[in-house]
């Protein structure tokens, strides 16, 4: 026997995580609420739902990222299988661009679970900064090539988190880390939207290990718009051709050895 809590179906009703799909979910819950349900086993409260939706719409769409390009280029060759284009657009959701969200949630959850219960926030923040300085790694969630010195999403996420009651220990620790970092370096540093996203998601009760899957689901939603635009007035074909015209062929190949 394999155990699941996800759902079951009878001829005239469908159960989903213990809720009746037709009378308790359809018409009551929103799409993002199913992420809460899948990750935490219950439907969110009204405020939890509003907060989660706010976070999700902030990351679903990022314009012509490499991932969106990969989806559009894939659609070019297989428009009859758009599931492949969406999948291709998700596969780049790895460590480089989308790592910051889960890594921020991770270091915050680990710092808080590891710290003595009565330790004040600035001390915990200083310990985090010390540990990263010692390791030589960058603290996740900071810096942005465009949004400098402030990322407009960060303030918005925290504003809504405060309004709806989710500015909790993870967000406050991240803010303390931010303040400490600016003090140490003596300059303004961007606390980016990815970092704030990870912190508020942690304050909503999500384990950092699920953050990437959640981000991937948001991106799948954003890719619908790219496929819609590509199918209506495609640009990927001319992009690919333009790139191809600028490829220069060398024959003195020096491969990696």
* Residues 228-257 interacting with a second copy (rule: CB under 8 A): 228-229, 231-233, 235-240, 242-244, 246-257
Q: Within 10-29, which residues bind a second copy (CB under 8 A)? A: 10-18, 21-23, 25-27, 29
CB of residue 252 to a second copy, shortest distance in Å: 7
Q: Which residues contact 5 (CB under 8 A, 6 or more apart)?
A: 17, 18, 41
CB of residue 129 to a second copy, shortest distance in Å: 26
Q: Within 158-177, which residues bind a second copy (CB under 8 A)? A: 160
Among 44, 48, 54, 103, binds a second copy (CB under 8 A): 54
Q: Which is nearer to a second copy, 148 or 184 (CB)?
A: 148
Q: Interacting stretch for a second copy, rule CB under 8 A, among 62-70, 112-120, 123-131, 169-177?
A: 62-70
For residue 148, CA distances in Å to 64, 122, 187 come to 20, 24, 12
Q: Within 101-140, which residues bind a second copy (CB under 8 A)? A: none
Structural element, H or E, at residue 19: strand 19-20
Q: Report DSSP state, residue 151.
A: -
Token pair, residue 125, equals: 């923040």
Characterize 169-202 residue by residue with b for buried, 16 or more Cβ atoms within 10 angstroms of its Cβ, and e for exposed. Answer: bbbbbbbbbbebbeeeeeeebbbbbbbbbbbbbb
DSSP-derived 3-state class of residue 46: helix
Q: Within 191-210, which residues bind a second copy (CB under 8 A)? A: 205, 207, 209-210
């Amino acid at each position: 026997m394999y155990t699941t809590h996800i759902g079951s179906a009878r001829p005239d009703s469908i159960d989903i995580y213990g809720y009746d799909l037709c009378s308790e979910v359809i018409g009551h819950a929103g799409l993002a609420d199913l992420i809460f349900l899948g990750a935490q086993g219950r439907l969110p409260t009204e405020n939890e739902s509003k907060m989660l939706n706010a976070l999700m719409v902030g990351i679903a769409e990022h314009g012509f990222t490499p991932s969106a390009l990969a989806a559009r280029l894939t659609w070019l060759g297989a428009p009859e299988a758009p599931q492949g284009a969406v999948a291709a657009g998700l596969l780049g959701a790895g460590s480089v661009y989308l790592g910051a969200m889960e890594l921020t949630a991770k270091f915050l959850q680990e710092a808080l679970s590891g710290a003595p219960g009565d330790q004040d926030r600035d001390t915990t923040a200083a310990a985090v900064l010390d540990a990263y300085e010692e390791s030589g790694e960058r603290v996740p969630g900071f810096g942005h090539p465009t949004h400098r010195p402030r990322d407009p999403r960060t303030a918005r996420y925290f504003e809504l988190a405060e309004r709806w009651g989710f500015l909790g220990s993870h967000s406050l620790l991240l803010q303390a880390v931010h303040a400490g970092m600016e003090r140490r370096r003596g300059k303004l540093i961007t606390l980016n939207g990815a970092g704030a996203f990870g912190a508020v998601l942690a304050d909503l009760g999500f384990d950092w290990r699920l953050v990437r899957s959640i981000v991937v689901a948001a991106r799948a939603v954003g890719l619908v718009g790219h496929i819609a635009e590509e199918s209506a007035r495609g640009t990927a074909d001319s992009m690919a051709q333009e790139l191809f015209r600028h490829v220069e062929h060398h024959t003195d190949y020096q491969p990696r050895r």
